[in-house]
Amino acid sequence: MNETAKSWQPTYSTRLTRRRFLGASAAGLGAAALVACGGSDSGDGSLTLSSSSAREPGSVWLYSNNWKLEDETKDAVSGGTYRGSWDRDNAAGYDVMLGSPAQTPFQPHVYEYIMGKRRSPGVDPSSQEYATPVPTLAESMEIAPDGASVTFTMRQNVKFHPIAPVNGRVMDIDDWKTSFDRFMEISPQRTFLQDIVDKVEYPDQRHMVLKLKFPYAPFRELIPNERFSFQIVPKELNADPNLAASLAIGTGFKVVDKHQPSQTMEFRKHKEYWDREPFIDRWHFPIIPEYANRYAQFVTGNIMAFTPTARDVITMAKDAPGAIVVGQELLAARIPRFNFGRENAANRAYKDARVRIAIRRSINWPGIFEAQSNKTQFEAAGIPVEVQSTTHATRDPLFWLDPEKNQLGAASENYQYNVAEAKKLVQAAGYATPPEFNWMILVGVDGAEEDIDRLMIDSLNQSGNFKSNLIATSNQVEERNCRSLRQCDAFINTGGSEYWMDYFMREQSSAGTRPGGEPTYPHAEIDRLALEYRKTVDPEKSVALIKEYQMFQAGYMSMIPAEHVFTVFSMRWPWLHNTNWGSAYDAELSGRDGWGAWGAHMAWLDKDMPRRNG
C-alpha cells in the first residue's frame, strides 16, 4: 500500500481489490481482507448519526428521515448557482420520445409528467399519501369505480419555456394529444401503456380519458414513473422530429441555457414556472467522467454533491470535514440481475435451469457485498449499513420472501453461495468440464460499476465451475442492446433502475415484453402468473401470485439475481435547503433529478454559501 498517496485519491483500486478479493475468497475469507487496506485506518467514530439536521457538518444524515424535516420555504433566499456534475454526457439527442432515461440525463430537468411522485415535508414514506401521486401538469386524476377508465384534467395557464418556436406559450390539449400519440408510436417506454390502454379520448379542451383494456390495479402508483408514463412535449416539436432532436423545450422549472458536448450543460430558472418561480437562478453540470477528478472537485467545493465508493466515504469525510454524509434509502424496488443474450442461446450451457442456478451459487455474493459496502469500517465508526439479498421480487414486506430466512423453503439454498453444490448442479446438467460463455461489461463510463462487474467475473471464474470470457465495450448502444434487448451472445449485468413487479414479471414473459427484447428463456408458467397478476385487483390474491412467482423463479431463474442491495452513502456540502422537496439533490446528480419526484424547485442556497453566484 502506498503510504504517501494523497488522501483525496480514491482507495478502491480495481487491481488491488480483485487480487485481494480472489486471495481472500480462495482462503474462504470472502472480501473481509479488503477492508484492511485503504480508507480510514481505524473506526474512530468521528462520524455521528444526526436525527434532527440534514445540514450538520461532519454528521451522517439518513435520507429515510428527510420527510421529518421542517419546510424551510419561509426563510428562503433567492438567487445563486447550484454547482453539480455529470459523469456522462447526454447520449441520445434531445428527443425524449426516443432515448431511454439513462441516455438523456437532461430530460427530468426540462420535461414534466402529468402526475408526479410525492416527496415533501411531513409525508411519511410508509403512508398511503406517499404512494399517491401529486397533480402536476394534470390538476387531477380520477379512476372510474370499475377501474376501466382514467380521466385527467389539464392544469390551466402552464407555460412552456421561452424558446422559439414555442416562445413561452400556454400548454393546451393538443400538446397532450400529440405527446401521447408520439409516445405510443415510438417511445421505448411505451410497452406497458400499449398493453393496458385500449383507446384515448379528448371530450373537451381540458380532459384526457384513457380507456383501459382491463382494470389495472397498479395504475395510480405507476403514472408518475419514468418507465411507464409519458412527458409533455410541445406540439411544435412533436410535429417535427428534427426540431425535437435539436431543441429541449418543456414546462419544467429549468431551461437549457448552454450545452457544450462532453464539457458542460447549464440551466437557468424558468421564471414563469407554473407552481412558483424557483429560488435558485442557475444550475451548472460540467461533464466529469473521471472518478478521481470528481472526488477532488468535491473536496475543493467546486461541486456540491458526490457519491464516492463505499471504501472512500470515511476518508472523504476527513478530507472534507465540513461536508455531510447522506445514507441513501435502500432501493427496495431495484433488482440487480443478469440477462442472457438471445444469440446462440440454444447452444449455451445456461439454457439449463440447473446451470443458471449454479452460476448464482458460484459467485461469492457475501464477499462482494463486503467489498462494495465497506460495512466493517462503517460499523466500526458507528454507522449502520442495511443489506438485503437480491431475489426475483422487489423487497416489499407484503410479499417478499427472504432466502436468508429460509422463506423460500428448500429453494432458498439456490440463492446461497456454495461452490461445491454449484459444481454438482453443473455435472448433473451433463458438463464434465467448466462450461464457457461470454460476459459483456461497459467500460470507461462508471468505474464503480465496472469494478463490481470485474469482481463478479473473477469470483465466478475462481469457482472453477465456469469459464467466462470478458467482452469489454465502451459503446453504450452496443451494451444497451445486449442488456435491455438481449441482442448479443453474452451474459450481462443490469438492474440499476427501480421497477415494479408487473414489469419484472412481464419482462420475463413471452406474453408481453418490449418489441425486440423478448426474454431468452421464457416459460408458460411465468406467462400465466404475469397475465393473471396484472388483471387482479384483489390485494390478497395479488400478494399470493407474487409469492407463487418467487417460488417458481427460485427453481427456474429465467434471470439470475445479482449483487446484494445495501445502503449507499453520498456526500454533499451543507449549502442547500429544502432538500426534502423532491429527491433531486441527495445523490450525485448525474442529471437524474428525481425522475418524476416533484418539488425540487423549492430548494434554495444558503446566503453564506461560498462563491454563491458561480
Output the domain CATH number for residue 417. Answer: 3.10.105.10
Q: Is residue 595 pLDDT above 80, yes or no?
A: no
Q: Residue 376: pLDDT above 50?
A: yes
Per the structure block, which three cell numbers stand in for 479?
451494451
- 33 domain residue, yes or no: no
Q: What is the pLDDT of residue 514?
A: 60
pLDDT band at residue 448 using 50, 70 and 90 as cut-offs: low
Mean pLDDT of 330-349: 92
Whether the per-residue pLDDT at 596 is higher than 80: the answer is no
Phi, psi of 116 (to 5 degrees): -120, 160
Q: Are residues 499 and 356 in the same domain?
A: yes
State the CATH number of the domain containing residue 102.
Answer: 3.40.190.10
Top pLDDT among 221 and 200 is at 200
Least confident of 103-107, 394-398, 429-433: 103-107
474 Cβ neighbours under 8 A, 6+ residues apart: 442, 443, 444, 445
**Does the pLDDT value for residue 496 go beyond 80?**
no
Confidence at residue 451, expressed as pLDDT on a 0 to 100 scale: 80
- Number of domains the chain is built from: 2
Do 105 and 253 lie in one domain? The reply is: yes
Please give the Cα distance from 254 to 215 (Å, whole number): 36
Grid look-up 462450461 returns 435
359 and 460 Cβ atoms separated by less than 8 Å: yes
Closest CA to 458 of 475, 442, 439, 473: 439
For residues 348 and 261, state if they share a domain: no
Comparing 14-18, 89-93, 306-310, 541-545, the range with the smallest average pLDDT is 14-18
Q: Is the pLDDT of residue 517 over 70?
A: yes
Q: Do 378 and 508 reside in the same domain of the chain?
A: yes
Same domain as 255, residue 109: yes
Which of 254, 276, 298 delimits the end of a domain? 276
Provide the b/e sequence for 477-494 (b: ≥16 CB within 10 Å).
eebbbbbbbbbbbbbbbb
Q: Does residue 348 share a domain with residue 265?
A: no
Q: What is the mean pLDDT of residues 485-509?
A: 88
| Domain boundary, last residue among 245, 276, 307 | 276
**pLDDT score of 578 more than 50:** yes
Residue 472 domain flag: yes
Give the pLDDT band (50/70/90) at residue 515.
low
- Contact at 8 Å (CB) between 558 and 519? yes
Residues 121-141, mean pLDDT to the nearest whole number: 91
- Model pLDDT, residue 512: 64
pLDDT of 32 strictly over 50? no
Q: Is the model's pLDDT at 25 over the cut of 90?
A: no
In the predicted structure, residue 16 carries a pLDDT above the cut 60: no
Average pLDDT, the chain: 87
| pLDDT above 70 for 589 | no
Query: Looking at the domain assignment, is residue 45 inside a domain?
Result: no
526 and 397 share one domain: yes
Q: Within this chain, do residues 361 and 493 fall inside the same structural domain, yes or no?
A: yes
Residue 267 CA, distance from chain mean position: 23
Residue 580: inside a domain, yes or no? Answer: no
Query: What percent of the chain clears pLDDT 90, i.e. is strictly above it?
Result: 62
Q: Is residue 381 within 8 Å of residue 532, measured between CB atoms?
A: no
**Lowest mean pLDDT across 14-18, 324-328, 511-515:** 14-18
At 208-239, the pLDDT tens digits run 999 999 999 889 888 988 888 999 999 999 99
Report, as an integer, the average pLDDT of 347-370: 96
The pLDDT value given to residue 1: 33
346 and 436: one domain? yes
pLDDT of residue 48: 85
Span 28-38, average pLDDT: 33
Percent of the chain with pLDDT over 70: 88
Residue with cell 460495512: 375
Please tell me the predicted confidence (pLDDT) of residue 477.
87
Assess whether 252 and 354 both reside in one domain: no
Model pLDDT, residue 28: 39
Give the residue numbers spanning the domain of 142.
Answer: 90-276
Q: Is the pTM of this model over 0.85?
A: no
Measured CA distances, 597 to 46, 347, 392, 401 (Å): 33, 44, 26, 29
Residue 535 has a pLDDT of 85
| Across 192-206, 322-336, 520-534, least confident range | 322-336
φ, ψ of residue 357 to 5 degrees: the values are: -65, -40
| 72 assigned to some structural domain | no
Evaluate whether residue 606 is within a structural domain. Answer: no
Bridge partners of residue 115, in order along the sequence? 135
166 within domain boundaries: yes
- Give the pLDDT of residue 310: 87
Where is the domain boundary, 276, 301, 318? 276
Answer yes or no: is 530 within a domain: yes
At a CB cut-off of 8 Å and minimum separation 6, what does 544 contact?
none
Averaged pLDDT, 262-280: 96
Average pLDDT over residues 422-430: 98
Co-location of 245 and 356 in the same domain: no
pLDDT tens, 547-572? Answer: 999 999 999 999 999 999 898 899 99
Residues 116, 239, single domain; the answer is yes
In this prediction, residues 486-491 reach a mean pLDDT of 95
